[in-house]
Amino acid sequence: MIRVRGLSKWFGDHQVLHGVDLDVARGEVVVVIGPSGSGKSTLCRCLNRLEAADVGEIHVDGVPVPAEGRALARLRADVGMVFQSFNLFQHKTVLENVMLAPTRVRGVSRAEAAREARRLLERVGIAEQADKLPALLSGGQQQRAAIARALAMRPKVMLFDEPTSALDPEMVGEVLDVMAGLAADGMTMVVVTHEMGFARRVADRVVFMDGGRIVEAGEPNAFFDAPSTDRARDFLAKVLTH
Amino acid sequence: MSPILDHLPEFWQGLLVTLELTAASFAGAVVVGLAITAMRVGPVPVLRAIGTGYVETFQNLPLLVLLVLAVFGLPEIGIKAGLLATSMVVIALYEGAYIAEALRSGVNAIAKGQGEAARALGLTFGQSLRHVVLPQALRTVVQPIGNIFIALTMNTSLVAAVGVVDLTAAANRVNLVEAQPIPIFVGAGLAYAAVAAVAGLVTGRLERRLAVAR
Ligand SMILES: Nc1ncnc2c1ncn2[C@@H]1O[C@H](COP(=O)(O)OP(=O)(O)OP(=O)(O)O)[C@@H](O)[C@H]1O
Ligand SMILES: [Mg+2]
């Protein structure tokens, strides 16, 4: 579903990705972990070209990611993204947030979009918040609304960039539960997270990044129980002790 | 007050011209401001440069110079338009630069996360501007744009210098006959102040309404 070859990216003189290769199969859940600044977000954002790759190729569902314009917008419509900071549209109700893209991008009728939006809000457990403005919701509810908003486009892939890092600890679980449910339903997912429990339970594969490179990748139990590189071992020792 | 009362029709006619000029050039300035802002925050480097160049040019030229240039210069190169229409266009182009600058600060405050979320959903740049970024940016710039409106109202008085008979020019003419500058120009000043006061009231209202909706 996603195929990345030789992806390199610079911010000014600073190279943040060094020839990254990554494949994500249809229905696969790949969790990306690694220390701060290792390039996880940048990799994730290159997949829907919120950041432009400088070198390398990215294919989504067999199609090279277009450079710009309507073709790029069409690709993004098929790739859902969930941000650390939710980024719900503050001037629209939760329901309108979910309806906006289907009506404007897909040309779905308002009635149909509203029906589908309510169904999705039900699915993420916040149906009763539909007519509120985002600012009135808790962080966990806002992030679940953001997931519903992305799902409303019926994406082929979902990208999550640290979806629970901005949440109070008691709200992390409700968001991870929604994500686990999606994975169980067969959604193809790329998840950047520091939640190792989620990675172990839900991931099909864990990818460990450091210094802009994929240092190690593997099936979660094998990776967490016996990482094969020193860098991954050091990282796990650090994150698992607190 | 008698010099004003005696010439009420002239004053009234002048006030109408001022109001017409204000309304039309403000509407034009908003359109120009939106277009320039779209260029400046957009992804195309050439358009960004043009937008920035536009704002810097118009902010660094006196309006009176532009008016004189347009009114007396354009006919020289064969472009003929009415005095009033020419003045409206010049003021709209000039104030549009200020509106663009006010809008850009509003857009920048909103654009990063909100614009990214919109584009990540598949909205085009124009759609994300129109449905997500601008509606929120406009709320944050109601006050600055209200101030631009007031400045624009005052600036319309410069058209008196190029022969449009607005409120200021009408006052000037009446004064030539009556030679009582204090009541005449205080009266005209009060009329401008009244327009400004109404604008201030409207923006205050608007801001409160939009603030509640957040
Ligand atoms: N827009 C940008 N401009 C300049 N440098 C950037 C930009 N975005 C990221 N960087 C730099 O690129 C490097 C990789 O950043 P990235 O956000 O991808 O890391 P990350 O693995 O997601 O880290 P974290 O866990 O802190 O989110 C960092 O050194 C960061 O400072
Ligand atoms: Mg990050």
Q: Which ligand has the minimum distance to the alpha carbon of residue A209?
A: 1
- CB nearest to B214's CB, from A91, A101, A104: A91
Using CA atoms of B150, B153, B156, B157 in order, give the dihedral in degrees to the nearest 10: -100
User: Where would I find the H helices in A152-192?
Assistant: 169-184
Q: Is residue B2 scored above 80 in pLDDT?
A: no
Sign of CA dihedral A90, A96, A97, A100: negative
Distance CA A162, CA B121 (A): 18
**Residue A161: which pLDDT band, with cuts at 50, 70 and 90?**
very high
Distance CA B202, CA B214 (A): 19
The amino acid occupying position B169 is A
What local confidence, expressed as pLDDT, does residue B51 receive? 95
What local confidence, expressed as pLDDT, does residue B212 receive? 54
Task: Say if residues A164 and A174 touch (Cβ distance below 8 Å).
Answer: no
What local confidence, expressed as pLDDT, does residue A242 receive? 59
For the stretch B65-84, pLDDT in tens is 999 999 988 888 888 888 99
* B122/A149 touch (CB, cutoff 8 Å), yes or no: no
Specify the DSSP element, H or E, that contains A208.
Answer: strand A205-210
To the nearest whole angstrom, how far is the Cα of A222 from the nearest Cα of chain B?
34
Which chain A residues are closer than 8 Å to B213 by Cβ?
91, 133
Which chain B residues are closer than 8 Å to A162 by Cβ?
none
Residue B26 C-alpha from the chain's centroid: 4
Distance CA A210, CA A125 (A): 36
Inter-CA distances, B159 with A29, A199, B82, B168, Å? 68, 70, 13, 9
**Residue A159: which pLDDT band, with cuts at 50, 70 and 90?**
very high
Q: Which two tokens stand for residue A10?
A: 């610079």
Q: Which ligand has the minimum distance to the alpha carbon of residue A36?
A: 1
What local confidence, expressed as pLDDT, does residue A97 receive? 97
What local confidence, expressed as pLDDT, does residue A118 receive? 96
For the stretch B199-209, pLDDT in tens is 999 998 888 87
Domain segments of chain B: what residues?
A: 2-210
**Residue B213: which pLDDT band, with cuts at 50, 70 and 90?**
low
Ramachandran area for residue B141 (φ above 0: left; ψ -120 to 50: alpha; else beta): alpha
Q: Using the structure block, give the residue that is written with the tokens 């309006």.
A: B63
Give, in words, the CATH class of B2-210.
mainly alpha
Predicted ipTM of the assembly:
0.90
Going by C-alpha positions, the residue among B174, B202, B200 that lies closest to residue B186 is B174
Q: Is residue B13 scored above 60 in pLDDT?
A: yes
How does strand A29-33 pair with strand A14-24?
unpaired
Inter-CA distances, A214 with A6, A37, A40, A190, A218, Å? 11, 13, 10, 14, 11
CA of A39, closest atom in ligand 1? 18
Q: Which two tokens stand for residue A110?
A: 């308002």
Specify the DSSP element, H or E, that contains A74.
Answer: helix A69-77
